[in-house]
């Protein structure tokens, strides 16, 4: 499960990385060291063949859901079942997105303790995490757009920390993931653990457990780093 992340980039960083420098409508971004479910964060999606950046709420709410709160339990979609599970299959076919992250946070079980680790690309580039998005209409007619992160089994690097990890796309695979006409087999081929040597990790403060805490100091190493 991936239930925490951090996003320390600017609007200009995202425009350069995903839109070839085209302007966005995001406005100024507030860096967060403790991104949690139900919060809004930028995602990249393709609309009528054109990439756009927009902010969506973390926790996918299917179009048929009766209440918004169901999204809090659907922050992740498992790669192994995403194409069949009723909550995610329509979005997998038609509404795929990329969730840009500076890194994600995973918790290692150590007896009764859970030790948090911050995981990022070794080259410190923005992580492109595979996601799905949905549009939900509330009873009053208002629209809410939400997303989920797709997870897969851990690679050898991640396995000592947790048995799951987000699906991390390489830059050359991003268009394949976003294009509406990509065949199912090509999509499934991307739902794999990232290559070894791509990530680094270090233990961080347990204060990250509370979404009320959000300061850069939360991401400072408190133990040995892994690479």
- The residues that are catalytic are 2, 106
157 and 165 Cβ atoms separated by less than 8 Å: no
CA-to-CA distance for 29 and 25, rounded, in angstroms?
11
């Amino acid at each position: 499960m991936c239930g925490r992340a951090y996003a320390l980039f600017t609007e200009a960083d995202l425009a350069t990385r995903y839109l070839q420098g085209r302007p966005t409508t995001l406005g100024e971004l507030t860096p967060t060291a403790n991104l949690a479910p139900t919060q809004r964060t930028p995602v990249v999606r393709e609309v009528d063949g054109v990439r756009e950046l927009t902010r969506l709420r973390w926790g996918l709410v299917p179009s048929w859901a009766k209440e918004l709160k169901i999204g809090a339990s659907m922050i992740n979609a498992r790669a192994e079942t995403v194409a069949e599970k009723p909550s995610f299959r329509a979005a997998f076919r038609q509404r795929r997105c990329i969730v840009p992250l500076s890194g994600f946070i995973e918790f290692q079980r150590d007896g009764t303790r859970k030790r948090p680790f911050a995981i990022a690309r070794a080259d410190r580039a923005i992580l492109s995490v595979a996601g799905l998005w949905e549009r939900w209409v509330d009873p009053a007619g208002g629209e809410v757009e939400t997303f989920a992160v797709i997870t897969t089994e851990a690679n050898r690097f991640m396995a000592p920390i947790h048995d799951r990890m987000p699906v991390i796309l390489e830059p050359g695979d991003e268009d394949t993931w976003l294009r509406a006409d990509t065949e199912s087999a090509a999509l499934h081929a991307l739902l794999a653990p990232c290559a070894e040597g791509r990530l680094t990790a270090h233990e961080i403060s347990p204060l990250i457990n509370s979404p009320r805490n959000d300061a850069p100091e939360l991401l400072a190493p408190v133990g040995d780093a892994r690479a």
